[in-house]
A and B are shown apart, each in its own frame.
Chain A
Amino acid sequence: MKRSSTRWIAQRLAQMLLVLWVIATILFLIFRLMPGNPLVAYIDPTFTMEQQRALIHEFGLDLPLWQQYLIFLKASATGDLGVSFFYRTSVSQLVWQMLPNTLILTLGAVIIAFVLGTISGAFLAWKRATAVESVGIPVALALRAAPEFWVGMILLAVFSFTFSWFPSSGTADAGAAYTSLWQQLTSPAFLRHLTLPLVTLVVYLQGLPLLLMRSNMLDVMEEEFVVMARMKGLPERRILLRHAARNALLPVVTAFALVVGYSLGGDVVVENVFSWPGLGRLLVKAVAAKDYPLAQGAFLLIAAVAILMNLAADLVYTWLDPRVSYAKR
Chain B
Amino acid sequence: MGLLTLEDLRVEYRTARGVSAAVDGVTLEIQEGEVLGLVGESGCGKTTLGRAIIRVLPRNGRIAGGRMVFGGVDLAALSEVEMRPYRWREIAMVPQAAMDSLDPVYRLGDQFAEVLTITGGLTRAAARARAGDLCDLVGLDRHRLAGYPHELSGGMKQRAAIALALALKPRLLVADEPVTALDVVVQHHILRRLRDLKETLSLSVLLITHDISVIAQTCDRMAVMYAGKIVEVGPTRDVFARARHPYMMGLQNSFPNLVHPQETLIPVEGVPPDLLNPPPGCRFAPRCPFAVEPCLVESPPLRELEPGRWAACHRAEEAETLRGQAQEAQRWRVPAL
> Are A and B direct contacts in the complex by CB distance below 8 Å?
yes
Whether A175 is near chain B, meaning CB under 8 Å from some CB there, is no
Q: Mark A123-149, 1 if CB is under 8 A from B, else 0.
A: 000000000000000000000000000
Whether B88 is near chain A, meaning CB under 8 Å from some CB there, is yes
Which residues from chain B contact A322 at a C-beta distance below 8 Å? 104-105, 107, 148, 150
Whether A45 is near chain B, meaning CB under 8 Å from some CB there, is no
Whether A227 is near chain B, meaning CB under 8 Å from some CB there, is yes
| Residue of chain B at shortest CB distance from A243 | B103
Q: Which of A189-205 contact B (CB under 8 A)?
A: none
Interface residues on B, range: 20 to 34
Q: Mark B53-69, 1 if CB is under 8 A from A, else 0.
A: 01010000000000000
Q: Quick one: which of A227, A234, A243 contacts B118, CB cutoff 8 A? A: A234
Do the beta carbons of B101 and A323 come within 8 Å of each other?
no
Q: Quick one: which of A231, A238, A243, A247 contacts B88, CB cutoff 8 A? A: A231
A224-B97, A227-B56, A228-B95 known; A234 and B103 CB under 8 Å? no
- In the complex, A226→B107 CA distance in Å? 16
Which residues from chain A contact B118 at a C-beta distance below 8 Å? 234-235, 238
Q: Quick one: which of A223, A231, A243 contacts B54, CB cutoff 8 A? A: A231
Whether B238 is near chain A, meaning CB under 8 Å from some CB there, is no
Q: Which of A288-329 contact B (CB under 8 A)?
A: 320-323
Whether A230 is near chain B, meaning CB under 8 Å from some CB there, is yes
Interface residues on A, range: 20 to 34
Whether B115 is near chain A, meaning CB under 8 Å from some CB there, is yes
- In the complex, A223→B103 CA distance in Å? 9
Whether A232 is near chain B, meaning CB under 8 Å from some CB there, is yes
Do the beta carbons of B104 and A323 come within 8 Å of each other?
yes
Whether B119 is near chain A, meaning CB under 8 Å from some CB there, is yes
Whether B100 is near chain A, meaning CB under 8 Å from some CB there, is yes
- In the complex, A320→B150 CA distance in Å? 15
Do the beta carbons of B56 and A224 come within 8 Å of each other?
no
- In the complex, A169→B87 CA distance in Å? 60
Do the beta carbons of A320 and B88 come within 8 Å of each other?
no
Do the beta carbons of B148 and A233 come within 8 Å of each other?
no
A224-B95, A227-B95, A238-B118 known; A233 and B101 CB under 8 Å? no
Q: Which of B260-278 contact A (CB under 8 A)?
A: none
Do the beta carbons of A224 and B101 come within 8 Å of each other?
yes
Q: Can you name 6 extra interface pairs (CB under 8 A) apart from A247-B103, A247-B105?
A: A230-B56, A231-B56, A232-B119, A246-B103, A250-B105, A322-B150
**Interface residues of A, Cβ cutoff 8 Å to B:** 223-225, 227-235, 238, 243, 246-247, 250, 320-323
In the assembled complex, 18 residue pairs joining A and B whose CB atoms fall closer than 8 Å, in A order, are A224-B97, A225-B100, A225-B101, A225-B104, A227-B95, A228-B95, A228-B102, A232-B87, A233-B87, A234-B118, A235-B118, A246-B105, A246-B106, A247-B105, A321-B105, A322-B105, A323-B148, A323-B150
